[in-house]
Amino acid sequence: MDSEGQMVVSSAGITESQNITRRPRALETPISNSLKFTEVMEPRWEQKGQLGANLCLSDTVGEASNFQKSLKEPGKKVLIVYAHQEPMSFNAALKDAAVRELSAQGCAVAVSDLYAMGFEPRATRSDITGTLSNPDSFNYGVEAHEAFKKGALAGDILAEQKKVQEADLVIFQFPLYWFSVPAIMKGWMDRVLCQGFAFDIPGFYDSGFLKRKLALLSLTTGGVASSYTKAGDYGDFRYFLWPLQHGTLHFCGFKVLAPQISFAPEYSSEEERKSMVASWTQRLKSLWTEEPIQCSPPWYFGQ
């Protein structure tokens, strides 16, 4: 993390001067590499040992104190929402490193491997198992809200909501697709983080229903680090984080930790990729002591 606690990056020393070929668009295609890690985990909790942790937040003095106290309790739960098609990809390596390190700390770790699960990304009428409130004119947001209140959402949505509800920390692991998450992860957000479960009107941002939880984006890019600066081809990386971190996670109340960005792993050597994984693992060792970013416009766009 930099001195201002604004992001954590793993670029393994790669710069534009190394003449690495970059795609003309902000898309990382599925990749594989020579790193061999453990197999993809099915979504489940794995409990090992205990963990004491300490994190100070700043909603109010009372809330910060209570939240800090809760993180000192043993047996923290972590949900990793993972989106990559290839079990031998670099994203899989980062996911597996997080499972190993957090499990070793005593955390109970669950992985929602969206591709392996065949998770349905489309928000449709099929998500509502009960009677529609207005069958003549379908409005997904309205119907999902009503279905949540009645316990009438599809089983896969309820299963993911249960994981989120139990988790103290949710990590999103994914390759950057068009400055955003892959479609399957976007579908997870659309269907799982529905009104009534994650937020209400009123009841969003600092009042969002997930305000007692932490969230973190761990992502890989196709371009090198210098491309994601104000002077780079893609602009400051904070610009594309705005809709994800602020418009989605913070809107639902999450306390957002600094992102973990691994730049251009596809164009990196095996040793450089290993260094990125090691950097992520090292950060996880003290993750529970980190404070969230100031999730407000100045963090993303300056004063």
What's the average model confidence in pLDDT over 252-256? 98
Least confident of 168-182, 203-217, 289-303: 289-303
Least Cα distance to 200 among 248, 160, 252 occurs for 252
> Which pLDDT score, from 0 to 100, does residue 280 have?
98
Dihedral sign for Cα atoms in the order 83, 88, 93, 98: positive
CA 17, chain centre distance (Å):
31
pLDDT at residue number 261: 98
pLDDT over threshold 50, residue 117: yes
From 49-53, 251-255, 287-291, 292-296, the region with the lowest mean pLDDT: 49-53
State residue 302's pLDDT score: 87
pLDDT value at position 12?
A: 44
**Full set of structural domains in the chain with CATH:** 8-301 (3.40.50.360)
Q: How far apart are the first and last CA of the chain?
A: 21
3-state secondary structure of 63: helix
pLDDT in tens, 11-44: 443 323 333 333 333 344 333 333 322 222 333 3
d(CA 11, CA 119): 31
Tell me the three state secondary structure of residue 11. coil
Residue 152 scores a pLDDT above 50: yes
Cβ pair 79, 167 in contact under 8 A: yes
> Which burial class, exposed, middle or buried, applies to 79 when counting CB atoms under 10 A from its CB (0-12, 13-18, 19+)?
buried
Looking at per-residue pLDDT, the higher value among 11 and 88 belongs to 88
Q: Work out the angle at residue 50's Cα, subtended by the Cα atoms of residues 46 and 51, and round it to the nearest 5 degrees.
A: 110
Q: What is the mean pLDDT of residues 245-258?
A: 98
Query: Which residue do the tokens 């939240």 mark?
Result: 67
* Residue-level pLDDT at 107: 97
**Does residue 115 register a pLDDT over 60?**
yes
Average pLDDT (91-103) is 98
Over the stretch 283-298, which tens digit does the pLDDT of each residue have? 999 999 999 999 999 9
1/6 Cα distance (integer angstroms): 7
The pLDDT assigned to 27 comes to: 42
pLDDT at 10: 60
